[in-house]
Amino acid sequence: MGRFVVRRLLGMVAVLFSVSVIVFLVFNVIPSSDPAQRMAGKSATPRLVKSITEEWGFDDPLPQQYLTMMKKVFSGELISYFGRENVDERIVEGIPATFSLCVGAAAIWLFFGLLFGYLSAMRAGGTLDRALTVVAVTGLSMPVPFIAALFLNYFTYKTEIFPSGGYVELTADPLEWLDHLIVPWITLAILYIGFYSRVLRSNMLDAMNEDYVRTARAKGLSERRVIRGHVLRNSLIPIVTLFGLDVGILLGGAIVIEGLFSLNGIGQYAYESLKNVDLPPIMAITLFGAFFIVLFNALVDIAYAFLDPRVKLGESAQ
Amino acid sequence: MAVVGPWRLAWRRLRRNRVALGFLGLFVAIVVFCLAAPLWASEVAHTGPNKTHTLEKIQAGGEVREVVNREGRPIGPQWLEADGKFFLGADGRLGRDEMVRLMYGGRTSLEIGFAAALLTTLLGTLLGLLAGYYGGWPDTLISRALDVIWAFPVTLLAISLGLVLAVGGLQIGPLHLSGSSLWITILIIGGVYVPYMARPIRGEVLALREREFVEAAEAQGAGPGRIMLTELLPNLSSTIIVFFALNVANAMLLEALLSFLGVGVQPPNGSWGTMLSSGLDLLTSAPLLTYLPGAMILLTVLAVNVFADGLRDALDPRSKVRIEAHSGLTKAESVEGIAP
């Protein structure tokens, strides 16, 4: 067990290292992306460009530049090219907004996704199932900017039920916090409710045909206990994995939603930095996002290794 | 008794699925609508998708109307009052014909969606097959590379690439793609989704490789290429078909997102995503400019998604392709949580 965990964690570090190298290369190897030129502005003198190049070490060999940058990422000294502000501090400042957005939206989509999926599976083929299928597939076909624009227009500009954006700290004013987050939560949740309900529905229908369910019925368990104890339990297993992955991805920032609702979290910071082709924040945010994706994936794997006796450690430790 | 092959059986099942066929019809209608763009532009609207009419006035409903008024507000839908000109109004300060732009924009969105999905499907199948069949170091190499791309937050990776390539263009050997080329967007979208298909395909190949028919083919002296093409590929075909449909849906949504953020389709080309983005400036005064392209994307992706579900039900109702395409997990991981 210990060896499995260690191997899994080492694999994580290797993946994160590769991710950082790729981000660094993408922004350095591509032509016309000389940061000194862009930092100096359009009407810059060659001398200014040269002094910026020397000051920031843009003429150092690439491996050395990479090492310097990574050292700064982890020591919290990374400075952005454009605002010249401390990147790690900005990310830490963005964490409350991004986490609030993710956790709230995740709770909503998990609740409704599972509820709809359960009802759909129990009434498979019926009217309710068909209606919920329409809702689900519409949700997973929704372009993010479109639904955000719809909600912005109807809930905030036209009716002024909710504020048009911004983030209020939970500790400062819990009611305002809620008021500002409800629309972004619903927007984000809609994209996932459909998917989760489809997954649960299909898993439950599969499980109902399994031998262990027939056995449970044969030994006289009530239908309720068959569904709760056997069908639902086994159908939820893959949901845990998916949920870990999806939340991991979102913690790296829901770029469009944060941007449109001015939530001032990590996603919005990512968007601003991308507009300025500002490598240091992009590097740090990508690593931050990738870290959660890899971490949740590893945690789920390790959790299963503990819970499921069938998992052979040697093989799953990829 | 007549023997019915699996394909014929699937076709029979699909033919009975009225909902799936209905949405296929909707999709075909949208494609025809977009293909008719040049016809509408030259015969009805008498303008092009990028032609501006800022200071012009038109005759509509017996009166003269400004295409863009003094406050910069574009004219609303004229329907047929101006003989089809500005059928859906103008698109903003530049006074371009919204209907013409919607049709041409749809062509761009569909082209990117299909080309990117095709790229993902080809690369995903190829890499999954090679890694799964050969095992050993080719598998390690391919799988590790896929894991790295898979670990990226997919939109962040696509946006970063879009940003850098839209500025600098791309040089592949002697081939130069300028920053505004649609191929850049196609390559990015097609590329970032490869792990989401290659990992599940590899998982399926790993299971197929142990089956008797592969052993039988090997015993007959068939080489690796032949086994992959004539033994493994046909067994993957139903998965690949459903995957392709879902890839189109995913690619169109990502295109909309990238273009919306300004790192996808570049001017002078327009797509539903860029229209969504430019319409947003006039959201309160002319919401139709946001709703129309948004609704077109929604309807197209919805049609593809429903048809994909119908295909899956006809070909292999127990397949987990939807989960696989969403998460990049293998089938075993999608069912058991993790590879058992």
pLDDT at B20: 93
Whether B259 and B329 share a structural domain: no
A282 touches chain B (CB under 8 A): yes
The verdict on residue B59 lying in a domain is no
pLDDT at A32: 55
Work out the average pLDDT over B109-134. Answer: 97
The verdict on residue B93 lying in a domain is no
Query: Are B153 and A289 within 8 A, CB to CB?
Result: yes
pLDDT at B232: 95
Distances (CA, A) of A196 to A68, A112, B181, B204, B218: 43, 9, 36, 23, 42
A308 touches chain B (CB under 8 A): yes
The verdict on residue B241 lying in a domain is yes
A312 touches chain B (CB under 8 A): yes
pLDDT at A35: 77
Q: Which of B33, B43, B42 is nearest to B103 (CA)?
A: B33
pLDDT at B172: 76
Chain B residues with CB-CB distance to A198 below 8 A: 322
- Residue B210 — φ and ψ, nearest 5°? -85, -5
The verdict on residue B242 lying in a domain is yes
The total domain count for chain B is 2
The answer to whether residue B88 scores a pLDDT higher than 70 is: yes
The answer to whether residue B72 scores a pLDDT higher than 70 is: yes
Q: How confident is the model at residue B340 (pLDDT cuts 50, 70, 90)?
A: very low
The verdict on residue B48 lying in a domain is no
Whether B123 and B256 share a structural domain: yes
Work out the average pLDDT over B127-142. Answer: 94
Given a cut of 50, the residues of chain A with pLDDT beneath it are 314-318
Count of alpha carbons within 13 angstroms of residue A5, beta-carbon side: 7
pLDDT at A316: 42
The verdict on residue B140 lying in a domain is yes
Whether B328 and B191 share a structural domain: no
Whether B260 and B330 share a structural domain: no
Give the closest of B144, B261, B294 to A146, CB-based: B294
Query: Are A274 and B253 within 8 A, CB to CB?
Result: no
Domain range for residue B8?
Answer: 2-16+323-339
Whether B292 and B333 share a structural domain: no
Whether B242 and B131 share a structural domain: yes
Whether B163 and B293 share a structural domain: yes
Query: Are B336 and A15 within 8 A, CB to CB?
Result: no
**DSSP 8-state code for residue B169:** -
Whether B163 and B308 share a structural domain: yes
The verdict on residue B53 lying in a domain is no
Give the closest of A31, A285, A286 to B168, CB-based: A31
A85 touches chain B (CB under 8 A): no
- Residue A131 — φ and ψ, nearest 5°? -60, -45
Q: How many CB atoms lie within 10 A of CB A59?
A: 10
ipTM above 0.85, yes or no: yes
A170 touches chain B (CB under 8 A): no
Chain B residues with CB-CB distance to A285 below 8 A: 156
Q: pLDDT: is A11 or B137 the higher one?
A: B137
Chain B residues with CB-CB distance to A147 below 8 A: 294
Chain B residues with CB-CB distance to A32 below 8 A: 167-168
How far apart (Å, rounded) are the C-alpha atoms in residues B113 and B85? 29
Whether B104 and B120 share a structural domain: yes
Phi-psi region of B51 (alpha: psi -120 to 50; beta: other; left: phi over 0): beta
Whether B272 and B333 share a structural domain: no
Q: How confident is the model at residue B239 (pLDDT cuts 50, 70, 90)?
A: very high
How far apart (Å, rounded) are the C-alpha atoms in residues A306 and A284? 32
Q: Which of B263, B264, B234 is nearest to B111 (CA)?
A: B264
Residue pLDDT, tens place only, B299-333: 999 999 999 999 999 998 888 899 899 988 888 77
Q: Considering chain B, what is the average pLDDT of its residues?
A: 90
Chain B residues with CB-CB distance to A152 below 8 A: 283
Q: Which residue does chain A place closest to B155, by CA atoms?
A: A255
Query: Are B261 and A255 within 8 A, CB to CB?
Result: yes
DSSP 3-state of B3: coil
How far apart (Å, rounded) are the C-alpha atoms in residues A83 and B317? 53
Residues contacting B162, CB < 8 A, separation 6+: B184, B185, B188, B258, B261, B263, B264
Sign of dihedral through CA atoms B61, B63, B67, B68? Answer: negative
A285 touches chain B (CB under 8 A): yes
What DSSP string runs through B293-331? HHHHHHHHHHHHHHHHHHHHHHH-TT--HHHHHHH---H
Query: Are B168 and A22 within 8 A, CB to CB?
Result: no
Q: pLDDT: is B269 or B250 the higher one?
A: B250
CATH number of domain containing B212: 1.10.3720.10
Query: Are B327 and A289 within 8 A, CB to CB?
Result: no
Q: Which residue does chain B place closest to A209, by CA atoms?
A: B318
Query: Are A143 and B301 within 8 A, CB to CB?
Result: yes
Quick one: three-class SS letters along chain A?
CHHHHHHHHHHHHHHHHHHHHHHHHHHHHCCCCCHHHHHHCCCCCHHHHHHHHHHHCCCCCHHHHHHHHHHHHHHCCCECCCCCCEHHHHHHHHHHHHHHHHHHHHHHHHHHHHHHHHHHHHCCCCHHHHHHHHHHHHHHCCCHHHHHHHHHHHHHHHCCCCCCCCCCCCCCCHHHHHHHHHHHHHHHHHHHHHHHHHHHHHHHHHHHCCHHHHHHHHCCCCHHHHHHHHHHHHHHHHHHHHHHHHHHHHHCCCHHHHHHCCCCCHHHHHHHHHHCCCHHHHHHHHHHHHHHHHHHHHHHHHHHHHHCCCCCHHHHCC
Whether B214 and B334 share a structural domain: no
Residues 139-168 of A with CB under 8 A from B: 140-147, 149-150, 152-153, 157-158
Whether B152 and B268 share a structural domain: yes
